[in-house]
C-alpha cells in the first residue's frame, strides 16, 4: 500500500527531532505504523536504562505516522496529548514501536503505541501509550 | 538549600539523554525543580514547532529532579507513567520547565510539570504534565 | 457573573448521572467551576474509601462545567479524555471540586480539576485530573 | 479457574459504589476480568449519552478486578491513577468491559480496560483506559 507508506514516511523524514534521535520509519498501512531505533549511550538516563523521554518520543512520533496514513493531503497531524506507562526497565540493542489508530474522527484521532526493547533477540514490551491527535486542514492554517 | 539542589542536579548531570538534548538544571528546592533548554533546529518536528517528545522529555526529567530532592541518598527515581497535554504550538528561543511534587508517598510520588516557551521575552505555557514516579531504595536493587 | 453561572449550572441540572450521584453545582465564573458532594455509604469502594469512579466523575463533570462557561449557546461540551491521579485515600464528610480551564481553543479545551475531601473541617487534596473537552457546535449536530 | 473468579468477584460484591451503579461481575481468569452494566436513564449525561463518569467507573473497577486476580490474599488493590479516552458517544442497552493486566509487578500493576456499548446486538468500543494499581499488603496497613 504505497500511498499509506508514503504519507507515514514523510512524517519521519521531515521531522528533525525524530531523525536526530535516530528513529527510523519501518513500515505502515492504513491506520498503523512501525518504527525502530538503535539504542546508543546518548539515549540513556542516569541509571543506564533508555530514558523515558526517548520511549515517549518514539511512541508519540509513531502514533503520528499511523494517524498520518489516514490524513488528507496537506493536513497537519498534531499531538493533542498522550499518556504513557513504563512497564519495565528498557534495556537492549534496539527499540521497536507499533502504533495503531483506535478511533478515526473527522478532526481527532486516538492511537495506541506499543514500545518493545529487543535484547539478544528477545523482544519485550517496555511501554504503552495512548495518544490523541488533531488533524488540522492545510486550508485552515 | 544546597542539599536539595545537589540531589536534583545529580539527576541532570548523570543522564546522558538530558545532556544530549541540551536540558540544563536551573534551580531546585524541597519538592520542586526548574530546568531550561535552548531551542535548536534539531528539536523541531515536521511543521517547525518543538517536537512533542522534547516537551515530554523536559517535563518528565524535571519531575524526576523535583522528586529526587525528596528521595533518600542512593534511591533510584523511576518514572512509572506520565500524561502530557500540549496547550499551544511551542515556538521561541527557549523552553523553561518547573516541576512541583503534589504528593510524596513512601514509594510513589506524583508531580506536575509546566513547560513554557519564551519568545521575544514573552513566556507562554505550552504543555502541562502529571508524572507518577517510584522511589526504589538502593538496598532493594 | 450570572451568565457564566447559568451556563455551568445547566450542565449540572440536566445531567441525570451527576444528580443521581449527588454532585451539586456550587459556583462558577469565566473558565472555572466548583461543585460539592456529600459522601454517603453508596459512594465507597471495598475498603471504605470514596470510590475512584466517584472522584473521577466529579472531576470530569466539574471540568465540563468550567468549559461550559466559555462555550457558545447550544454547544455540546463533550469529554474527549481525562487522566486522574489519586493522591491519598479519600475519607470524610464531603468532596469539593474546583476545575479551571488551562487552555481555550476553538474546538478543544483543556481543564484541570482538583478534588478535595473535607473531614472535621480539614480539607485535603485527594485527586487531581487533566481533562480534554471538545466543543461541538449545535449547528453541526 | 475458581480462585481467580472468587478473588475478582469479591472486589465487586464488596464495593458499594459498583453495586449502586449496577456494575456486575461477569467472568475472570488470571490477569483479566469482565463486567457488565445495564444502561438506565440515571447513567446519562446532559445530551443523552452514557456519562463519562460511568464509563470511567466500569473501566477502573474492572481493572481492579483483573489486578485482584493476581493479588495475594488480603492485599488491598488501590487505583494509583488512570487515563481514559472516549472514542465515540456511548448509546445502547448495556456496557461491557474487559480489563487485562499488561504488567504485573511486586507492588504495581498496569492494566488496560476496553469499554463496549451494545445496541441492537451490535457491540462497539466506546472507551479505552490505562490504569495503574498498587497492591498494598494487608500486613502493612
Low-confidence ranges of chain D (pLDDT < 50): none
Percent of chain B predicted with pLDDT > 90: 85
Q: Do C132 and A107 touch (CB under 8 A)?
A: no
Candidates D53, D91, D97: best to mutate against C (most CBs of C within 10 A) is: D53
- Number of Cβ pairs closer than 8 Å across B and C? 32
Name chain C contacts of D10, Cβ cutoff 8 Å: 46
Least confident of B119-128, C2-11, D53-62: C2-11
At residue A116, does pLDDT exceed 70? yes
pLDDT in the model for residue B106:
87
| Residue among C102, C17, A97, C125 at smallest CA distance from B129 | C102
At residue B141, does pLDDT exceed 60? no
A7 interfacial to chain B (CB closer than 8 Å):
no
Q: Which strands form A23-29's sheet, in the order they lie side by side? A: A23-29, A32-38, A94-104, A108-119, A122-136, A76-86, B76-86, B122-136, B108-119, B94-104, B32-38, B23-29
pLDDT in the model for residue C46:
81
Name chain C contacts of D136, Cβ cutoff 8 Å: none
pLDDT in the model for residue A91:
96
Q: Taking phi first (over 0 means left), then psi (-120 to 50 degrees means alpha), and beta for anything else, what does residue C20 get?
A: alpha
Instruction: Note the pLDDT tens digit of each residue in B88-102.
Output: 999 999 999 999 999
Which domains, ranges and CATH numbers included, belong to chain B?
2-140 (3.10.129.10)
Unique residue bearing C-alpha cell 524541597? B30
Question: In 10 A of CB A43, how many CB atoms?
Answer: 22
* pLDDT mean over A51-79: 95
Confidence grade of residue A74 (pLDDT, cut at 50, 70, 90): confident
- Number of Cβ pairs closer than 8 Å across B and D? 17
pTM for the predicted model, two decimal places: 0.96
Percent of chain A predicted with pLDDT > 90: 86
Confidence grade of residue A31 (pLDDT, cut at 50, 70, 90): very high
At residue A104, does pLDDT exceed 60? yes
Q: Smallest CA–CA separation between D94 and chain C, in Å?
A: 16
List phi, psi (to 5°) of B17: -65, -40
Q: Do B86 and A76 touch (CB under 8 A)?
A: no
At residue C137, does pLDDT exceed 90? no
Name chain D contacts of C68, Cβ cutoff 8 Å: none
Instruction: Note the pLDDT tens digit of each residue in C84-136.
Output: 999 999 999 999 999 999 999 989 999 999 999 999 999 999 999 999 999 98
Q: What's the whole-number average pLDDT of chain A?
A: 94
* pLDDT mean over C29-36: 98
* pLDDT mean over B20-48: 95
Confidence grade of residue A141 (pLDDT, cut at 50, 70, 90): low
pLDDT in the model for residue D2:
73
Confidence grade of residue C55 (pLDDT, cut at 50, 70, 90): very high
Strand partners, A35: A25, A97
CA B2 to chain centre: 19
* pLDDT mean over A9-14: 91
Strand partners, D23: D37
* A window 91-110, beta carbon within 8 A of D: 102-103, 110
* pLDDT mean over A68-85: 93
Q: Smallest CA–CA separation between B83 and chain D, in Å?
A: 8
pLDDT in the model for residue C1:
60
Q: Smallest CA–CA separation between C87 and chain B, in Å?
A: 6
At residue B140, does pLDDT exceed 70? no
Q: What's the whole-number average pLDDT of chain C?
A: 94
Q: Taking phi first (over 0 means left), then psi (-120 to 50 degrees means alpha), and beta for anything else, what does residue B136 get?
A: beta
Q: Smallest CA–CA separation between D105 and chain C, in Å?
A: 19
Name chain D contacts of B134, Cβ cutoff 8 Å: 108
Name chain C contacts of B87, Cβ cutoff 8 Å: 102-103, 110
* pLDDT mean over C11-21: 93
Q: Do B132 and D81 touch (CB under 8 A)?
A: yes
A16 interfacial to chain B (CB closer than 8 Å):
yes
Q: Which residue of D has its CA nearest to C14?
A: D46
Considering only residues A137 and C8, tell me which one the structure prediction assigns the higher pLDDT: C8
DSSP E strands in chain B: the ranges are 23-29, 32-38, 76-86, 94-104, 108-119, 122-136
Q: Do A132 and D87 touch (CB under 8 A)?
A: no
- Number of Cβ pairs closer than 8 Å across A and B? 117
Q: What's the whole-number average pLDDT of chain B?
A: 94
Q: Which residue of B has its CA nearest to C83?
A: B83
Cross-chain CB nearest to A130 (options D88, D102, D130): D130
Name chain C contacts of D79, Cβ cutoff 8 Å: 52, 86
Cross-chain CB nearest to D83 (options C11, C17, C83): C83
Name chain C contacts of B132, Cβ cutoff 8 Å: 85
Q: Smallest CA–CA separation between C106 and chain A, in Å?
A: 12
Amino acid at each position: 500500500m504505497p500511498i499509506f507508506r508514503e504519507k507515514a514516511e514523510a512524517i519521519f523524514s521531515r521531522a528533525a527531532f525524530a531523525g536526530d534521535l535516530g528513529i527510523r520509519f519501518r513500515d505502515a498501512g492504513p491506520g498503523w505504523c512501525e518504527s525502530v531505533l538503535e539504542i546508543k549511550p546518548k539515549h540513556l538516563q542516569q541509571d543506564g536504562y533508555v530514558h523515558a523521554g526517548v520511549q515517549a518520543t518514539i511512541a508519540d512520533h509513531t502514533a503520528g505516522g499511523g494517524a498520518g496514513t489516514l490524513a488528507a493531503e496537506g493536513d497537519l497531524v498534531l499531538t493533542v496529548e498522550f499518556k504513557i506507562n513504563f512497564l519495565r526497565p528498557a534495556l537492549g540493542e534496539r527499540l521497536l514501536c507499533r502504533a495503531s489508530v483506535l478511533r478515526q474522527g473527522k478532526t481527532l484521532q486516538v492511537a495506541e503505541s506499543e514500545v518493545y526493547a529487543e535484547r539478544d533477540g528477545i523482544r519485550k514490551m517496555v511501554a504503552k501509550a495512548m495518544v490523541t491527535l488533531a488533524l488540522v486542514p492545510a486550508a485552515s492554517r
